[in-house]
């Protein structure tokens, strides 16, 4: 049993609190935007967006309350906010001088650096290893997991990754239940890259639901074609991101470090839970899929985000913005072949040039 603090009371943070509470003491700390959710939970109501109850054993508190001692005494801290809230979570940990045994990340996103000629980084590279004690005990959580299904106890299989596989295994042993099943591996950068990229690719795949309607449903063939292509592009982009990490860590040399992990050598991660598996459930529903369906009708991104999806964080759009400069540079220099990325190019055209989503199936690689 561990003392676990989850930062962020959105759907995924709260769902993870439910599963973590099976064998641990759990405190759910709402972000500054979560006060209404915390009020609902403390009144024994269902989570207003998760539409499920969180176990009564979970302590739910607001960020404005006295949380210093709780944060400082945590064995495990989980960052469960969306990407815009990551800095709040890191500031909260720093302000209260917490040094947990393990820091875990549910957040999915990429971060572009000052050098726009490089691939964007993942949170593996941008979060200080000194936040844990001993240093470097950080775990990424990825794979197919619809928050409401997890909260309701449906069978779920995800993956935990850490540069130290023993840390991933330790967190697995704390959180696993008879319905929450966890694979572990050492491809931390790959997992984080795939977790972000699948949100981005989901936008493109989901356009097919409305671009090719059929009677009262949608044509399955176009969706399947783009789903397959999206997985291929996730694989190429995640490899590019990991190769840039490797070169940066070795000051430009080709020494083998972050790119070729033990896991990825045997199981290309884009075709595993963090890539293909997570893309499958993301296309099935959620904010990125919703945006894609709006774009599939020919509407412009700006119009959608100012009306139907106003004030809704779409992490796939954020990922695209972080991807843009490095991707364009890599294609210009021949480090990436632009013809391999028809979906990526189509989505970036929507984001960068405010154009309708357009993809020619004839451009899909033979």
Q: At residue 255, does pLDDT exceed 70?
A: no
Q: What is the pLDDT of residues 99-108, one digit of tens each?
A: 999 999 999 9
For the chain, how are helix, strand and coil distributed in percent, rounded to 5? 50, 10, 40
Is residue 189 within 8 Å of residue 242, measured between CB atoms?
yes
Q: At residue 286, does pLDDT exceed 80?
A: yes
Distance in angstroms (rounded) separating the CA atoms of residues 64 and 87: 16
What per-residue confidence (pLDDT) applies to 114?
85
Pairing of the two strands 156-161 and 138-142? antiparallel
* Tokens linked to 230: 């999206």
* Gyration radius of the chain's alpha carbons: 20
Q: At residue 3, does pLDDT exceed 60?
A: yes
Is residue 151 within 8 Å of residue 177, measured between CB atoms?
no
Q: At residue 254, does pLDDT exceed 80?
A: no
Q: What is the pLDDT of residues 34-78, one digit of tens each?
A: 999 999 999 999 999 999 999 999 999 999 999 999 999 999 999
What per-residue confidence (pLDDT) applies to 257?
42
Is residue 193 within 8 Å of residue 120, measured between CB atoms?
no
Share of the chain above pLDDT 90, in %: 90
For the ranges 156-170, 236-250, 306-320, which has the lowest average pLDDT? 236-250
* Domains of the chain by residue range: 3-188, 196-363
Q: At residue 315, does pLDDT exceed 60?
A: yes
Span 174-185, average pLDDT: 98
Average pLDDT, the chain: 94
Question: Is 196-363 CATH 3.40.190.10?
Answer: no
Confidence of residue 366 (pLDDT cuts 50, 70, 90): confident
Element (H, E) at 62: none
Q: At residue 258, does pLDDT exceed 50?
A: no
Q: At residue 219, does pLDDT exceed 80?
A: yes
Q: At residue 283, does pLDDT exceed 50?
A: yes
**Total length of the chain:** 366
Span 183-206, average pLDDT: 97
Question: Is 3-188 CATH 1.10.340.30?
Answer: no
Alpha helices by DSSP H, listed for the chain, are 11-20, 35-42, 68-72, 86-95, 123-126, 147-151, 165-175, 188-206, 208-211, 220-249, 262-266, 278-283, 287-295, 301-305, 315-332, 342-353
The DSSP symbol for 10 reads S
Span 313-322, average pLDDT: 96
Contacts of 106 (CB under 8 A, 6+ apart): 8, 12, 13, 16, 78, 79, 80, 141
Q: Which residue has the tokens 């598996």?
A: 277
Same topology, domains 3-188 and 196-363? Answer is no
Is residue 299 within 8 Å of residue 180, measured between CB atoms?
no
Which of 128, 141, 205 is CA-nearest to residue 8? 141
Q: At residue 247, does pLDDT exceed 90?
A: no
Distance in angstroms (rounded) separating the CA atoms of residues 274 and 282: 11
């Amino acid at each position: 049993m561990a003392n676990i603090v989850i930062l962020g009371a959105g759907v995924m943070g709260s769902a993870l609190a439910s599963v973590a509470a099976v064998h641990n003491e759990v405190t759910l700390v709402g972000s500054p935007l979560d006060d209404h959710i915390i009020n609902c939970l403390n009144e024994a109501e269902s989570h207003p967006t998760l539409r499920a109850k969180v176990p009564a054993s979970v302590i739910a508190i607001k960020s404005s309350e006295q949380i210093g001692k709780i944060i400082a005494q945590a064995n495990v801290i989980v960052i469960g906010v969306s990407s815009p809230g990551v800095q709040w979570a890191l500031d909260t940990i720093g302000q209260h001088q917490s040094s947990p045994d393990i820091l875990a990340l549910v957040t999915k996103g990429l971060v572009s650096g000052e050098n726009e000629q490089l691939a964007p980084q993942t949170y593996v590279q941008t979060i200080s290893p000194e936040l844990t004690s001993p240093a470097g005990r950080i775990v990424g959580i990825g794979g197919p997991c619809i928050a409401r299904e997890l909260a309701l106890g449906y069978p779920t299989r995800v993956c935990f990754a850490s540069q130290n596989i023993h840390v991933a295994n330790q967190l697995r042993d704390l959180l696993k239940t008879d319905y929450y099943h966890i694979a572990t591996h050492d491809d931390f950068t790959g997992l984080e890259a795939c977790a972000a990229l699948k949100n981005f690719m989901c936008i493109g795949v989901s356009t097919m639901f409305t671009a090719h309607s059929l009677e009262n449903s949608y044509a399955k063939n176009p969706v399947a074609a783009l789903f397959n292509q999206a997985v291929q592009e996730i694989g190429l982009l995640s490899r590019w991101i990991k190769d840039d990490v490797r070169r940066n860590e070795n000051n430009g040399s080709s020494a083998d470090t972050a790119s070729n992990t033990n896991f990825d050598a045997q199981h290309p991660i884009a075709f595993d839970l963090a890539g293909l598996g997570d893309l499958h459930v993301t296309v099935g529903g959620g904010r990125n899929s919703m945006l894609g369906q709006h774009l599939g009708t020919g509407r412009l991104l700006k119009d959608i985000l100012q009306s139907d999806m106003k004030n809704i964080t779409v992490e796939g759009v954020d990922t695209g913005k972080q991807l843009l400069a490095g991707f364009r540079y890599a294609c210009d220099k021949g480090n990436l072949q632009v013809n391999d990325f028809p979906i990526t190019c189509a989505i970036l055209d929507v984001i960068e040039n405010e154009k309708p989503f357009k993809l020619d199936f004839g451009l899909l690689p033979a």
